[in-house]
Amino acid sequence: MDIKKKLKKKAYVVKDKCVACGTCVKVCPRGAIKIIEGVFAEVDENKCIGCTICAKECPASIIEMVAKKEVVVDVK
């Protein structure tokens, strides 16, 4: 048995640079992003699976993938 530690990444929106275009909301396969009061996008970390699609599709390139927690993976 081989135990590996991996950092789990979540999407993070740099809110003051967000133009609320809604692209990330449309492309997220988990419905993890919402536009708050028509002003900025916000990611629900509990729903985000770290797929990076939103970060790639954001026209303003202001979604960052941030390591949120360490998960232990059992590699057999």
Residues contributing to the site for ligand SF4 (CB under 6 A): 11, 13, 18-24, 27-28, 30, 32-33, 41, 43, 48-54, 58, 60, 62-63
**Separation CA 72–CA 12 (nearest Å):** 22
Residue (52 or 71) nearer to ligand SF4, CB: 52
Residue (21 or 73) nearer to ligand SF4, CB: 21
The tokens describing 53, both together, are 């699609």
CB of 11 to ligand SF4, least distance (A): 4
The tokens describing 7, both together, are 């950092």
Q: Please state, in angstroms and as integers, the Cα–Cα distance from residue 20 to each residue in 1, 32, 33, following that order.
A: 46, 15, 11
